[in-house]
Homo-oligomer: A and B are copies of this chain.
Amino acid sequence: MSPAAKQILILGGGFAGVYTARALEKLLRPEEATITLVNRENYWVYQPMLSEVISGSIGVANVVSPIRRLCPRTNLVTREIEDIDLANKIVTVSPGFRPRQLKLHYDYLVIALGNVTNFYGMPGMLENALPFKTLADAMVLRNHVIRTLEEADVEEDPELRRKLLTFVVGGGGFSGVEVIAELNDFVRAVKGNYLRLRNQPHRAVLVHSRNRILQEMAEPLALFAQKTLRKRGVEIILEDRLVAATSEKAILKSGVQIPCKTIVCTVPSTLPPVIEKLKCSKEKGKLLTNTDLELKNYEGQVWALGDCTAVKAVSGSEAPPTAQHAIREATTAATNIAAAIRGGGRAQFAFEGLGTLGSLGHGAAVAQIFGVKLSGLIAWVLWRCIYLMKMPGLNRKARIASDWTLHLLFPPDLAQTKLEPESGIQNQHFEAGDVVFQQGDLGDSVYVIEEGECDVLQEMDGSQKLLATLQAGDYFGEMALLSDQSRNATIRARTAMNVLIIPKDDFNKLRHSVPAFGEIFRALARQRAQPAVNTSDSVGT
């Protein structure tokens, strides 16, 4: 690395960021520039194939590619980006093993941070809906689905079994359609291995806000897609959308409630917080650039591209958030950065898109390429060929081809790798009427009401008695934990209610180490255990 080398800093490791680094490695010599890329993961996700991880038709590790191999001359910093200081040309990233922030200085900056999932204003979604963006999301979803099948196979209660066998996906764009198709294919393929589920129906529900799915495609293709999915057993609910969730159901805008234990939400995305707090020219929150992809007022210094940017082609058309556009934006940005460093021709973004492709699960897809519309098996073969060709590197191509071959020959894998985070202290949402826990259940957590009200009900001699109504700031569930017995009352939400759940393990660690914390609950339990003077004082749960 030469002392005269310019520091190029790329933020984000999606298509836009990684392809900018790749292009720069080709355009610039090591003594001209040092390239650094910051991304929270050390791999780049091949988004078009991510949903295939659900069914296992591609192995988990093969749908991603290590950024260090894709950009061998780029320094990778695997951290979160906490702050961008455009005035002083400094980017602050999160700490690693040692709790100190790292500050990175740059001469040229590329912002390609994409977007993030956002459940703001949708009660209970953060706690109960699974996003679908990263490799971890795909693995968590796959394992969650296998867990619901395992539990459904053991479960005696038919109502809970139906919930366990219902899968709801919000959003009928490419991502939502691919997820519901793969999920449905997977459940159909493995259900035969569950002795008690073989003859049980399952529900796969796709919820979409418009009057047809795949808005990005021509209507005949979208209708074909709907027909294909429905033929395979997927229910499609149109002109409705997810607005809330609890651990027991999905709630739609129309008021429809779908009892289920699996909700995937592919819809709501927003800009990353670090972009939101960035003070510069924006359009609907997105970064504003010229057709050279330079950030307004920071020309020659900062480039912005990908989904966090309002990119307009020379023709004035807005670039949609797709991989093919991001790759061309990367070439444009890299050309202009190289020109800024050592002169030479500049480039303008003028790409108008080649077409769109969407998979509908095994053996079916829809495609619209150079104006030609294709559907069914031929579109699916085309889909596989095009995306396999586009995957960079022979290593990944060979691995994916091998996975696909094995998937054609053998049934999908169904090992559940229990790697999901342990529960820990967490928030939860309940709707009015929901049961938080039942009398007789094991005491596994303490609850603190943050918002809303609930009733404490006790079954006695065959009739149910209302012992008390609790509200924000009240605790419940402590008695079963302190006495190590099962719940002696049922708790039912009276209104929509948000609670903090402290699991038994954490509760016991805290009361052991911070005696004053335990005393808060012990005092309450003592008070509640006393013969009722007025009802609200005798609530043992």
Contact = CB atoms under 8 A, between A and B. Distances in A.
A96 interface: yes
A227 B444 CA distance: 52
Contacts of A153: 75-76
Interface string A422-459: 10110100000000010011111000101000000000
A514 interface: yes
Complex copy number for this chain: 2
Most chain B CB within 10 A, of A135, A427, A475, is at A135
A327 B429 CA distance: 49
A437 B99 contact: yes
A438 to B, nearest CB: 8
Given A78-B150, A516-B520, A98 B42 contact: no
A418 to B, nearest CB: 6
A417 B135 contact: yes
A441 to B, nearest CB: 4
Chain A facing B: main interface SS: mixed
A269 interface: no
- Range of interface residues on A (Cβ < 8 Å): 35 or more
B61 A415 contact: yes
A413 B79 contact: no
Given A153-B76, A398-B410, A421 B418 contact: no
Contacts of A77: 154
Given A72-B193, A146-B42, A422-B421, A413 B164 contact: no
A64 to B, nearest CB: 5
B193 A413 contact: no
B415 A43 contact: yes
A281 to B, nearest CB: 30
Contact of A195 (B75, B195, B421, B443): B75
Contact of A520 (B78, B155, B512, B514): B514
B193 A513 contact: no
A370 interface: no
A78 B424 contact: no
Contact of A416 (B78, B398, B420): B78
Contact of A59 (B59, B76, B151): B59
Given A78-B150, A135-B415, A419-B139, A99 B442 contact: yes
A499 to B, nearest CB: 9
Contacts of A43: 415-416
Nearest to A146: B42
Given A398-B409, A516-B520, A415 B42 contact: yes
Contacts of A157: 98
A280 B502 CA distance: 38
12 contacts: A61-B415, A65-B415, A68-B194, A75-B196, A96-B154, A100-B441, A398-B406, A448-B514, A500-B509, A500-B513, A506-B506, A517-B517
